[in-house]
């Protein structure tokens, strides 16, 4: 195999900087998916959580659900709203950084909506090569 064929994930594609995409780490994907999944269960199906089996975490969760459910509910939707705002900001960043490939822009928006700042940080740190005049 040629060295170019073994290019790591997240590097610029052959098309150049207009198609730059870097996937967020599996660690953050797992943490954020698990956290939002647990939060969703707390909000909509709290009876399905085995609080006693979760030890201290279960006790804290049960206390919050029993005493602060409206606050948790607002926080849940604010978290999704924040992810939506970050996704919209990723559209602007793609434009500012010259990422014009529509498929790549869609990947950035979806990834940022689902995984928030763990995705957005890759786009924020991307420095496109300056074209010589």
The pLDDT tens digits for 9-24 are 444 444 457 788 999 9
Is the confidence at residue 117, as pLDDT, over 60?
A: yes
Query: Which letter, b or e, does each residue of 91-125 get, where b requires 16 or more Cβ atoms within 10 Å of its Cβ?
Result: eebbeebebebeebbebbbebbbbbbebbbebbee
pLDDT band at 127 (very low <50, low <70, confident <90, very high): confident
Q: What is the pLDDT of residues 36-63, one digit of tens each?
A: 999 999 999 999 999 999 999 999 999 9
91-113 mean pLDDT: 93
């Amino acid at each position: 195999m040629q060295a170019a064929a073994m290019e790591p994930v997240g590097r610029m594609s052959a098309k150049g900087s207009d198609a730059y995409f870097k996937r967020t780490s599996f660690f953050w994907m797992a943490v954020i998916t698990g956290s939002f999944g647990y939060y969703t269960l707390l909000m909509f199906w709290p009876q399905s959580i085995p609080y006693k089996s979760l030890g201290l975490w279960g006790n804290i969760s049960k206390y919050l659900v029993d005493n602060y459910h409206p606050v948790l509910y607002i926080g849940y939707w604010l978290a999704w709203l924040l992810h939506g705002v970050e996704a919209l900001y990723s559209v602007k960043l793609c434009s500012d950084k010259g990422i014009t490939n529509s498929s790549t822009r869609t990947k950035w928006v979806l990834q940022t909506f689902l995984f928030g700042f763990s995705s957005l940080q890759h786009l924020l740190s991307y420095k496109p090569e300056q074209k010589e005049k």
